[in-house]
Every structure is written in structure tokens, then in C-alpha cells.
A and B are shown apart, each in its own frame.
Chain A
Amino acid sequence: MLEMLLRPAPMLRVAGLHAGYGDVEVLHGLDFTVGWGGITALLGANGAGKTTTLRALCGMIRAAGRVQLEGADIAGLATEDIARRGVGHVPDGRGTLMELTVEENLRLGAYTRRRGEEAADLRRVFGYFPRLRQRLRQQAGTLSGGEQQMLAIGRALLLRPKLLLLDEPSFGLAPLVVREIFGIMRRISADDGVSILLVEQNAGLALELADTAFLLETGRIVTAGPAAELRENAAIRRSYLGY
């Protein structure tokens, strides 16, 4: 008891997480924690279960196991309630509302906030992504892939999340744009006090950015540790970094 009081619960604690689609189980009991602040990377090859993990955390698919946000159970809650508790999720495919304008997308990001409360956050989002301000009236579907990714991150930030889940933000983007977005993620993590859980197939990039990393292989976590250590890990270098 005393120990619990002295050691605050981590931002996210996951224990024995099983999840899948229909009869097919994809995650076979994951255990990991995400600390306060900083960037945690969840790495793994295609099909390892990275996206499934994020979906399971947000109640988008049926899952079993414990998921605690700041010590409070969120497993089994509806997706919208998990979002309202402060979990922002930039999903696979970015979740852009193509038919709506950039401005409307951003307004929706702040949907759960009280009126007026989000103004300062909107300024911060424009600080990170000045291009969004220029494109406010544009239909979101006409943005480039990089701009859509920026919009998706900005939208998620307007929820004022404690925990931000990012699903492959580098997917389909030119290397220069990826650099730009990763740099801004670093700033977001430092300035906004958001804990970031980053899913990436591009392990080299993710390990440069992250503080901590987990390696997922066919639904199980096989390696975990500080990102700097994993960068030096021979097996990881061979399988995922290619040098």
C-alpha cells in the first residue's frame, strides 16, 4: 500500500492484453508500461500486431486483459469514453474527415472541450504546423499526405490528451516530411507534457526519436528497454535496422 502511494501509477499499464479479429487472436498477452512524458516506441514488422495493440487500447476491437490509464481501468470502456479520458489516437490511415474542411476537422478535435478552452491549444497547433493555418478553408481530402498527417496530429492534440497514440506517422510520406513531423513530435513531447506511444515500422527512425522501445513479434513483446540500448542490440540491428 505504502509503496503504491510512493510510486504513482504509470501513464499506461497494460497487462495480459489479448486481442484479435473474429476468431483469430493477434495479441497473445502483452505486458508493458508507458511512463509519464517522453516517447515510447512500439516496433515490429508488418503483421506483428502494432496497429492491433493501439486498437485494443482504445476499445476499437474486442480485447481481454488489463489496461490502466493513470491507475484507472479503461479496458472495456467505449472508444469515445477512452478518448474523453485523455487518450488521443492518430489512427492507421490518419482518420481524416475528407469531406470536411481543415477548420472543421480541427473544431471536431476540440469537440469534447468547453467552448473557448481550446483557443490556446489551437494557437499551439498552428505553431507546430503553420501550414494548417493557411489551409483552413480547404477540403481536408485535398491535402497532401504530409499535411493530412499534420492535421491528424493537430486534431488529436486539441483533445488535450495525456496519452497520444500515433500509428505509423511516417507511412507513405517523403523522408524530408517524415523528418519534419518527427521533429515536431519531439517538441510536442517536451512542451505539452504528453506521453507519446509511437507505433513504427521504420525502427531506425523511431529509435532515434524514442526514449524507450518495445519490440513486438507475432503478438508478443520480445525485447524492451531504453531506445539507446536497443539501437546497439545486435539482433535488432540485423533484423530491423539492416546494418
Chain B
Amino acid sequence: MDEFLHQVLSGVASGGIYASVALALVMIFQATHHVNFAQGEMAMFSTFIALALIEAGVPYWGAFAITVLLSLILGAAIQRVLLTPMAGSPVLASVGVFIGLLLIFNSIAGWLFGYTLKPFPTPFEGPPVLGGFVTRHDLGSTAVTLAVLGGVYGFFRFTNLGLAMRAAAYNPVSSRLMGIRVGRMLALGWGLAAAIGAIAGMMVAPVVFLDPNMMSGVLLYAFAGALLGGISNPLGAVFGGFAIGVIENLAGAYLVGPELKLTLALAIIVAVLTVRPAGLFGRTVVSRV
């Protein structure tokens, strides 16, 4: 029973990472109807920036804040420079850009920082807590993740800027007629997604170690989580991310072993999507004409 609890809690911790990245994916998907395949690599690159800052002597939380800010700017700049000219182009052209970005970030990171696994510090040091079931890092990173998710939820739900970003995603034409600067909203959305990804990267790196391919697995799980919960619903995607984390951990420990745990997670997703194509919480918007 103790072991089971340990597996669940550990699954929640990694699920929080997937949930963050899933949320980043959903934010960009809602605005552009594209999945940003480079989301994970952008997060990995941000994590390298954080490591460089920490190695240069910046205290952890200072490096954390600078990295989040730089990622926000970088994400917004990518949208403005690379994706604004792509507006109205065919889907495959955008997919090409995303895959290009993925490869570019991956190889630049390798070129700048090398391909060897690097340890990444955690600000949550100390002996395990909650009766020894949970590492301090798992607890701390889950708290950070929940704070990020709560903050993002509040931002979109309660601020006018967040509302305008949602409007720009749902209906850019109508939003422009209300004076909303849709281009800026898209750039801000990319910036926020990149910042959320950066936090996820910094939280997962102490567990999996940092290298240019650190996020490829995480991105897959996050994508799976987003699809499971419903890629049209941020809350659903977040739930999906957590669910995938727990399923993955339990399956790895008890059912199929670590080799097949991703396969099992994906099998569950396929099953869910067969019954509910919009995902568990995917919204079908009702509209009368």
C-alpha cells in the first residue's frame, strides 16, 4: 500500500510537468489550430539558459525568474518573426516551421552546451517528506506547477487581457472589430506558452537530467495528456496531463514494466478517443443560428 501511494504521488509530480506542457500546447492550439512540436525543445533550451545562469553564479530563483522572462520574450519573438508571415499559409507549411524550430533548438543546444547529461539543481533539497513517500523535489515541483496552472487560469478567467487573448483565439476578425490587437495577443500567447514550458523544463530537469533530448519524451506524454483531456479545453488538458503521469507510473510499476508504460498510456488514449473524439472534457460548442 505504501509503495502504491509512493507510485501515485510520484506520478502526480511528473503529471504536473506533462500538464504544464500540455497547457502550453493547448494555448497555441486554440489560437492557431496547430500543435507546436517545438514546444518541448523550446523548454529544453530555456532550461539550458537557466543552467548557464546558475553556473555563472546567479542564485536559483533569480535564474528562474530571468529564464521565465527571457523565454516569454523568445516565444513572442518567434511568433512575430517566424509565424506572422505564415498567417493564412497551408497547414503543412506551419508544420514544417514547427519541425524546423524543433531541429534548430535541438542542434543549437547541442552545439552550445553539448550532448552529455548534465545534473540540474533543485531548490527543494532535503530528506523525503510525508512519511518518506515523496521527495522534497516532487513536492516542491508539484507546488510550483499548481501555482503556475492556477495563475494561468486566473489570468485567462479574470483579467481583461486574458479575456482578449481568448477572444483573439476564438474569433480574430470579430476581435479586431472591437479594437483588440490580435497580432500582439498571439505573440503574448506564444510568450506565455514558452514561459510555462520553461518552468516545466526547470522542474523536470533535476529528475531526468538535462540534455538536448530531455523534453522529447515529456512532449509525447504532454501531447497524449492534451488529447486525453481534450485539446480544445485547457482544464481538460491539465487533467489529462496529471492522469497520464499517474497512469504511466502505476503501469510502469505494476502492469507492464517501464518498457511498455508509454504504450499502455497511448492505448488508453486511443480507447478514450474512439469513444469521445473531442477528449474526455473536449467542448462541443453549441450554437443556434
Contact = CB atoms under 8 A, between A and B. Distances in A.
Given A95-B174, A100-B166, A104-B163, A83 B179 contact: yes
B285 A109 contact: no
Interface string B151-167: 00000000010011011
Nearest to B171: A97
Given A60-B173, A91-B173, A108-B164, A80 B289 contact: no
B180 A108 contact: yes
Given A91-B173, A100-B167, A108 B286 contact: no
B170 interface: yes
Given A100-B167, A172-B289, A159 B179 contact: yes
A79 B170 contact: no
Contact of A142 (B175, B180, B288): B288
A159 B173 contact: no
A98 B170 CA distance: 8
A143 B287 CA distance: 8
Given A97-B174, A100-B167, A104-B163, A84 B286 contact: no
Interface in A64-116: 78-80, 83-84, 88-89, 91, 95-100, 104, 107-109, 111-112
Contacts of A134: none
Interface string A144-182: 110010000001100100000000000010000000000
A84 B176 CA distance: 10
B130 interface: no
A192 B224 CA distance: 53
A143 B179 contact: no
B288 A111 contact: no
Contacts of B181: 80
B171 A95 contact: yes
User: B interface, how many residues as a size bin?
Assistant: 20 to 34
B112 interface: no
Contacts of A96: 174
A108 B177 contact: no
A218 interface: no
B198 interface: no
A79 B177 contact: yes
Interface in B175-191: 175-182
A141 B167 CA distance: 14
Nearest to B182: A80
Contacts of B175: 80, 97, 108
A189 interface: no
Contacts of A98: 170, 285, 287
Contacts of B167: 97, 100, 104, 108
Contact of B286 (A58, A88, A139, A172): A139
Contacts of B287: 98, 141-142
A9 to B, nearest CB: 22
Contacts of A88: 177
B288 A141 contact: yes
A96 B286 CA distance: 13
Interface string B229-243: 000000000000000
A111 B289 CA distance: 26
Given A104-B163, A107-B160, A141-B286, A99 B178 contact: no
A73 to B, nearest CB: 19
B288 A144 contact: yes
A26 to B, nearest CB: 18
A160 B163 CA distance: 20
B175 to A, nearest CB: 7
Contacts of A156: 177
B288 A155 contact: no
B32 to A, nearest CB: 16
Contact of A143 (B164, B176, B283, B288): B288
A108 B173 contact: no
B170 A99 contact: yes
B286 A142 contact: yes
Given A107-B160, A108-B164, A84 B174 contact: no
B285 A108 contact: no
A111 B180 contact: yes
A159 B166 CA distance: 19
- Cβ-closest 9 pairs across A and B: A95-B174, A141-B287, A112-B179, A83-B179, A79-B176, A84-B179, A89-B177, A80-B176, A98-B287
24 contacts: A60-B173, A80-B179, A83-B176, A83-B177, A97-B167, A97-B175, A98-B170, A98-B285, A99-B285, A100-B163, A100-B166, A104-B163, A104-B167, A108-B163, A108-B164, A108-B167, A108-B180, A109-B178, A111-B160, A111-B164, A111-B178, A141-B285, A141-B286, A141-B288
Given A98-B287, A108-B163, 7 more contacts: A78-B176, A96-B174, A97-B170, A97-B174, A99-B170, A100-B166, A111-B178
